[in-house]
Amino acid sequence: MPAPLLDTKLFLPVPRGGVVPRPRLSRRLERGAAAKLMLVSAPAGFGKTTLLAAWLAQGAGRPVAWLSLDEGDNGPETFWTYVIAALRTVVPDIGENELALLASSQPPPIHLLLTTLLNDLSALETDVVLVLDDYHLIESRDVHDSMAYLLDHMPPRLHVVIASRADPAVPLARLRARGELVEVRAAELRFTAQEAAAYLNGEMGLQLTAHDVAALEERTEGWIAALQLAALSMQGRDDAAGFIAGFAGDDRYIVDYLAEEVLQRQSGRVRDFLLHTSLLSRLNGPLCDAVTAQGRGRAMLETLDRGNLFLVPLDDRREWYRYHHLFADVLRARLSDESPDLVRELHRRASEWYGDHGERSEAIRHAVAGEHFDTAADLVELTLPALLRDRQETTLRGWLELLPEEVLRDRPVLSNGYAAALLSTGEVEGVERHLRDAERWLDGAAQSHRVDEPPTRKVVAYDELDRLPAGIAVHRAGLAMARGDPASTVTHARHALTLLPDGDDVGQGAATALLGLASWAGGDLEAAHAAYTDCVACMLRAGHLSDVLGCSITLADLRITQGRLRDAVRTFERALELAREHEGPVLRGTTDMYVGMSALHRERNDLDAARQLLTRCEELGEHNGLPQNRYRFRVAKARLREAEGDLGGALDLLDDAERVYVADFSPDVRPVPALRARTWLRQGRVDDALAWARDRGLSVRDQLSYLREYEHVTLARAHLAGHEAERPEHTLEEATELLRRLLHAAEAGRRNGSVIEILVLLALAARIRGDSVAASTSLERALTLARPEGYVRMFVDEGPPMAALLEAAAERGSNTGYARRLLTALGAARGPAPARQGLVEPLSERELDVLRLLRSELGGPDIARELVVSLSTVRTHTSHIYAKLGVNNRRAAVRRAEELDLIARTPDRRPGPVVTPDE
């Protein structure tokens, strides 16, 4: 954005001479300067900005970063660009990289930038005050969330002051409870009788009697804006007492009355200038010249400034100004009453000026406000390709919603873009209507042999028209997928492929991905994987690397369902390597790879690694939506909490995951409510889990489908738990029969991940029946499938009932070593807490696993194979074990561990070969 418009927002308002001293408020503000947040909240006209500017001007040497906000700052990228620019006015060495990233075509997620910015601010050597003025103009949920994160993680030397007409959507209650919030509200901001006298008689020179001051203060209730307007109206009057006696009414009428009094005392030229420029949120000389179609705009602004006519200077050079908000409101209302036809022309001029100066957003705003909808549509049409490329569908939708239907219907590219914006947020209503509007133009153009021309002004790029037929077909495929109609998805996606112009890799990738989604929904995972692999190739050719990472999530999910954990790991590792090789901002979706890897490490019982990966995700900025799928982070964290035994914490995270879940085109094959029902079962809340199943309409006699496979397996778990809880209506036979049918379907679909879980449950069901042969057979099959992929938690999470089955498997069968390792992991999961190990720094669960194997005769490579990790990982764990135990070799480690009862004593067994960190 142009530097002049940026700079004006960052200037601390210049306090005028003779500002009324208000020591009672100054003392409170000084206390607020030491708090994490000071909130100055009051209705318009209570002098919030003036008070803060005067107070800050008195604080000699206090570094102040000031930002005046407006409606255009609701985008997170714009908001934080200005915040960082403001901070750089007092701390020039911070934020340079963050500003460059925000200005890029694909800015990284905001939380990543906040994390690095906070790291920089933590090194501050002196206190800095960040003032956000007019925060009530911010309505974006994303901006509020990111501000909440800033306040939660703010370094001690940074202090935030928010001035707002309404309480901001940040966690005020929490800050208040912690004593980290100082509040200044309307009751404190109102002028007292003494302050009103100082202002009216000192600042304004009115020489009112004490009785007149008290009467006016009483009528206005200390409302500073009304006092200021009243003072202006009384200047030059002989009968001040008579004016005050007739002064009455509520706030709105007071303002209307006084503004009329003020305006009537101005010359026609000044009055016209005030009215004609009132629709501008900021003013400078050239902009006012363009809007008024007159010259000498700068001189007029200087005259108004000297006359104290509610003009607020935004910089020390007196180049940029704004009107007092209340005064501007009154001026705009007067302009609309007196010259309604002129309003459209003034907005047209403003739009043209902003467009010529590169401010397309402001240009669109004024074009819409002036009902120049064709101009606004032209501007949106020119901006549309960049918006879609940068995934700014929300901005696009906001603009399109301002345009009348009749304008959109004659704009096929905008109609198609509107459909894309709706689908991006999971909304289907209205999509078909906009696609039909675009198609209607295509049909008409074809009939008149004008397929190469748009129906309105020729501003749209012709390649957008070339891509239009295929784009419509792609969006129809997406609409069908969102409505749960995979067959129609396939039809439209295949049709799109026949319409694509040569070289449209993005369009081909989108259509191919939709074909993959349809296959996934139908349970054909191999076909889905092949389609998504083709989509990745298309997106790589197009350079859409963030989309490659997004596709990698699906590719890994498919492999996990197929029980191919190693392939899933490789998918995530390739994606992370691509992200590391990328020069520029962190790619959107990078943290999703960490979340996926964490879940896989959890399954392999490497809880430390799983925890570190989620911590890495948080460091990069999960709370502001850094992962493309925010709910996945919470699910992964909940599953980790379960493994750590914190079931209550897991449920809280699952509730949060459900709150932030946003449906997309991908089938929801593992619903959060089903995960919550499983956690309830682990808590013994069988009735709650069965109630969930009833609410979902699940029955053991349902016709099975892949889309509900996870839910039906959960239902089987609930019935097994119900049987053990002696609920006669839930028979073991029904649960077993359901599991057998599920097994047959999963095997037919080659979904080995599901097969393993179902076999585990069949083994447990057989154990309950007392059928040890059937239990052993099912468990042996599960172990055979699970061992090559390194499954651990699949078995360990079943607890003591599984231990009995594993003990038998460890004595016979083809998976005895694997069964012993699972028993070891199961024992560790039920063992003493690390804090009771007797060590200054306790061994982690994974280090205990390695320690137990160090007691065996296995060498380093064999231990790595047993734990399904790399040799370097074993070396790292071994080095940590030696350091924590205070030893330097394997035998000493085993001996020390036995002394501390970390492992059972086995005096007749010699430790295997020495494993050193450098082996």
List the single range of 38-47, 240-249, 351-360 with lowest mean pLDDT: 240-249
Query: What confidence category does residue 623 fall into, taking pLDDT thresholds of 50, 70 and 90?
Result: very low
Query: Residue 257's pLDDT is what?
Result: 55
Domains 266-371 and 845-909 fall in the same CATH topology: yes
Query: Residue 228's pLDDT is what?
Result: 76
Q: Which of 460, 431, 433 is nearest to 445 (CA)?
A: 460
Cα 71 from Cα 138, distance rounded (Å)? 6
Q: Is the pLDDT of residue 14 over 90?
A: no
Buried b / exposed e over 189-203, threshold 16 CB at 10 Å, is: bbbeeebbbbbbbeb
- Give every CB contact of residue 119 below 8 A, 6+ residues apart in sequence: none
Q: Is the pLDDT of residue 914 over 50?
A: no
Query: Residue 307's pLDDT is what?
Result: 62
> What does the pLDDT look like over 158-195, one tens digit per residue?
999 999 877 888 888 888 888 889 998 877 888 888 88
CB 818 within 8 A of CB 787: yes
The pLDDT of 771-790, averaged and rounded, is 95
Q: Is the pLDDT of residue 910 over 60?
A: no
**Which DSSP helix (H) or strand (E) runs through 184?**
strand 181-185
HEC letters along 675-709: HHHHHHHHHCCHHHHHHHHHHCCCCCCCCCCHHHH
Q: Is the pLDDT of residue 47 over 90?
A: no
Cα 518 from Cα 527, distance rounded (Å)? 9
Output 318 or 141, whichever has higher pLDDT. Answer: 141
Helix 630-643 to helix 647-660 angle (10° resolution) is 170
Q: Is the pLDDT of residue 390 over 70?
A: no
The pTM assigned to this predicted structure is 0.60
Cα 325 from Cα 631, distance rounded (Å)? 41
Q: Is the pLDDT of residue 915 over 70?
A: no
CB 894 within 8 A of CB 858: no
Residue 61: CB atoms within 10 A of its CB come to: 5
Cα 285 from Cα 299, distance rounded (Å)? 8
The pLDDT of 286-298, averaged and rounded, is 90
Cα 182 from Cα 30, distance rounded (Å)? 10
* Residue count (the chain): 919
Judged on CB neighbours under 10 Å (0-12, 13-18, 19+), 909 is: exposed
Assign 720 to helix, strand or coil. Answer: helix
CATH architecture of 669-827: Alpha Horseshoe (1.25)
Q: Can you name the residues that pair with 66 across neighbouring β-strands? A: 131
- Give every CB contact of residue 543 below 8 A, 6+ residues apart in sequence: none
Q: Is the pLDDT of residue 908 over 60?
A: no
CATH number given to 7-189 = 3.40.50.300
Which residue matches tokens 């399109």? 400
> What does the pLDDT look like over 210-242, one tens digit per residue?
888 888 787 666 777 778 777 777 776 677 777
CATH class of 266-371: mainly alpha
For the chain, percent of residues with pLDDT exceeding 70: 86
Q: Quick one: fold of 845-909? A: Arc Repressor Mutant, subunit A (1.10.10)
Cα 34 from Cα 606, distance rounded (Å)? 44
The pLDDT of 419-425, averaged and rounded, is 84
Q: Can you name the residues that pair with 38 across neighbouring β-strands? A: 161, 182
The pLDDT of 510-514, averaged and rounded, is 95
Phi, psi of 312 (to 5 degrees): -105, 115
The domain locations on the chain are 7-189, 193-264, 266-371, 564-666, 669-827, 845-909
Side chain identity, residue 483: R
Geometric angle at alpha carbon 589, from 588 and 592, rounded to 5°? 150
Query: Residue 537's pLDDT is what?
Result: 95
User: Which CATH superfamily groups domain 564-666?
Assistant: Tetratricopeptide repeat domain (1.25.40.10)
Query: Residue 917's pLDDT is what?
Result: 38
> What does the pLDDT look like over 789-832, one tens digit per residue?
999 999 999 988 898 899 989 888 889 899 999 998 887 655 44
Average pLDDT, the chain: 83
Query: What confidence category does residue 61 fall into, taking pLDDT thresholds of 50, 70 and 90?
Result: low
The pLDDT of 84-108, averaged and rounded, is 85
List the single range of 279-283, 386-390, 692-696 with lowest mean pLDDT: 386-390
* Terminal CA-CA length for the chain: 57
